[in-house]
Structure 1
Amino acid sequence: MASADQDQESLQNQNHYLCGSVAAFANIVITFPIHKALFRQQLFGVQAWEAVRQLQSDGLHTLYRGILPPLLQKSSTIAIMFGLYEDFSRLMQLHAPQAPVLLTDSIAAVLAGTAEAVLMPFERVQTLLQDPRHHGNFQNTARVLLQQHGIRELYRGLVPILLRNGPSNAFFFGLRGPIKELLPETKAGQGKPVSDFVCRGILGAGLGVVFYPLNVVKSHARLQIGGEFQSCRVILANVLREREKDGKVSRLFQGVHLNFQSSIFSWGIINATYELLLKML
């Protein structure tokens, strides 16, 4: 009996990884063009319409250029995010049953977010493939990986990712339940996929706004190839100095509106699909 219970628990844990991976895959395929326009805004500090115009100018054949790295990276990191969070939470509750649930869940979320950073080379490749200035240098994912300056080079921008992932995961897993309870649909027991889409989409988008400057720092750090590794403080100062020339320091948040809108859609798709698949399995 105990063995059967353990097998059932193991299967349920595997389902969290599988559902997270499939949900992320679906989201990337649907939202990739939106995120590509957002990347142009973060990189060049341009308006949304100008980012779209640039993509149109590049041509339809380059619209999905660089999609393989985020497909591999996101399907893996979201699987890790949900799967490891459940695993770590279960282990902590098992070995520290007296500890507050909020504390153990927060630690589990931070650990899961930190583990996600192992796969950040995929984001590094995506950044270089999306930058129009490197279109002539890197034709595909394999070419980027082969022309790097060692393994360490693939982890440029690691610090802002660690500063973002852990805290944002803790807020996400800690607030998703309370926010969902505020929706009348969930109290009535109806419209669960819709409530998952809305509440967690808004939560993910809100966290994206809070940590947006770290994403800007991350994007700029990853565009450097070779040379000295710059700290987050130095990169942020350089970005601010560059944008102060136009008298628009607020352009540090250029693209935040599109980021908020796309994040609602992205996190809505991920969470609604994840919960639906989890229920089916």
Structure 2
Amino acid sequence: MSSNSHRNQDDVLKSSDSTAWFRSYLHGGTSSLISTMTTIITFPLYKTVFRQQLHSTLVREAVAQLFKEGPVKLYRGVAPPLLMRSLNGTLLFGLQDTFLHQLPLFSTTPLPRNALPALAGFGAGVVEALLFTPFERVQNVLQNSRNDSRLPTLRSILLKLASRPLASGYYTAFLPILVRNALGSSLYFGLKGPMSNTLRDNGCSPVAASFMAGVLNSVVISLPLYPLSVLVANMQAQAEGGERGVRSSWRRLWAARQHRLSLLYRGGFLVILRSCVTWGITTAIYDQLERHSR
């Protein structure tokens, strides 16, 4: 009787664990799906920044380029980030929660409790880079107006990239994306809890604290990692020529920016502003769903 009781308790615990993990995937996907509305609204802003990253132009010059191309082409390339954003939240929050529960079981030495969210976030960022680099590659080729005549449709771009080796096709710039995503996710999950708790202790409501934690987190992450995004955009924008390595691509980019950080960070303010809004909303919705489920 006692053994059956213990077995039933174990089954209940396993069931509750799996339910909790499924909930984190569901809540991550829901929060990201809702925040994709900001992706649609701010996509022209994102495209303006992309032109600045690629051509080192001023805001007014990038806007003039987009205005000249017309409204039909303004949203060319919006499909990959929409799809990526929805899937990204599902996997990022879900995988981080899964790793968070599994890390202590596979570690031979006790891991610091405060470091677990950051370590789990690092692992989630690695998986994210593996899965979503092709999406980012297609998006950057689509957004580069110089590809419009040779590769006018999404299908033509997919076929072109599929005809090339992975390293110069779909997985061009994988290494900088891996570093950016792994570090970014590690910082996000490592800082989110402490920031939110500090804000609540200072009188913020739970929703406001989560939103501000997402905003502040975004600033902390975006500022140092922005040059990697510029490097990725320049490496991935051409459908051909992806054979150039990270080091040579960086040297070429740094020379094109006249060895000046101010030119390298051109468009950075707009990216950080967009990221703050998106991650503030995503964090607030996710944390609210988690609170209600508990």
For normalisation by structure 1, the TM-score amounts to 0.89
Of 178, 194, 197, which residue of structure 2 is paired with 1:178?
194
Whole-angstrom distance in 1 between the partners of 2:106 and 2:175? 30
Question: In the alignment, which residue of structure 2 is the partner of 1:237?
Answer: 251
Q: Decide whether aligned partners of structure 1 residues 189 and 4 sit closer, same or farther in structure 2, where only a CA change above 3 A counts.
A: farther
Whole-angstrom distance in 2 between the partners of 1:111 and 1:256? 27
Say whether the 8 Å CA contact 1:176–1:203 is kept in structure 2: yes
Question: In the alignment, which residue of structure 1 is the partner of 2:83?
Answer: 72
Whole-angstrom distance in 2 between the partners of 1:270 and 1:142? 31
Question: In the alignment, which residue of structure 2 is the partner of 1:101?
Answer: 113
* SS in structure 2 at match of 1:221: helix
* SS in structure 2 at match of 1:182: helix
Of 150, 172, 188, which residue of structure 2 is paired with 1:137?
150
Whole-angstrom distance in 1 between the partners of 2:224 and 2:172? 22
Whole-angstrom distance in 2 between the partners of 1:239 and 1:188? 44
Q: Decide whether aligned partners of structure 1 residues 227 and 129 sit closer, same or farther in structure 2, where only a CA change above 3 A counts.
A: closer
* SS in structure 1 at match of 2:170: helix
Question: In the alignment, which residue of structure 2 is the partner of 1:38?
Answer: 49
Are residue 225 (structure 1) and residue 239 (structure 2) matched?
A: yes
Whole-angstrom distance in 2 between the partners of 1:181 and 1:63? 41
Say whether the 8 Å CA contact 2:115–2:190 is kept in structure 1: no
Say whether the 8 Å CA contact 1:42–1:254 is kept in structure 2: yes
Find the structure with the greater CA-based Rg: 2
TM-superposed deviation, 1:189 = 7.0
Are residue 59 (structure 1) and residue 70 (structure 2) matched?
A: yes
Q: Deviations over 1:87-128 (max 9, x none)?
A: 111011234472212444333221110100122101111101
TM-superposed deviation, 1:138 = 2.8
* SS in structure 1 at match of 2:269: helix
Are residue 268 (structure 1) and residue 280 (structure 2) matched?
A: yes
Whole-angstrom distance in 1 between the partners of 2:47 and 2:36? 11
Whole-angstrom distance in 2 between the partners of 1:167 and 1:272? 21
Q: State, as a whole percentage, how many aligned pairs show the same letter.
A: 30
Q: Decide whether aligned partners of structure 1 residues 4 and 69 sit closer, same or farther in structure 2, where only a CA change above 3 A counts.
A: same
Are residue 203 (structure 1) and residue 217 (structure 2) matched?
A: yes
Letter in 1 for 2:178: L
Whole-angstrom distance in 2 between the partners of 1:103 and 1:206? 18
TM-superposed deviation, 1:280 = 4.2
Question: In the alignment, which residue of structure 1 is the partner of 2:174?
Answer: 158
Q: How does 1:122-133 map to 2 (within 5 A)?
A: 122-133=135-146
Q: Deviations over 1:209-268 (max 9, x none)?
A: 110111111111112333462222211111121222xx8552111111111211111111
Are residue 121 (structure 1) and residue 121 (structure 2) matched?
A: no
Question: In the alignment, which residue of structure 1 is the partner of 2:3?
Answer: none
Whole-angstrom distance in 1 between the partners of 2:290 and 2:75? 29
Q: Deviations over 1:28-67 (max 9, x none)?
A: 3323222222111111112223323322222222222211
Q: Decide whether aligned partners of structure 1 residues 180 and 124 sit closer, same or farther in structure 2, where only a CA change above 3 A counts.
A: same
Letter in 2 for 1:274: Y
Q: Decide whether aligned partners of structure 1 residues 34 and 24 sit closer, same or farther in structure 2, where only a CA change above 3 A counts.
A: farther
Q: Decide whether aligned partners of structure 1 residues 191 and 51 sit closer, same or farther in structure 2, where only a CA change above 3 A counts.
A: farther
For normalisation by structure 2, the TM-score amounts to 0.86
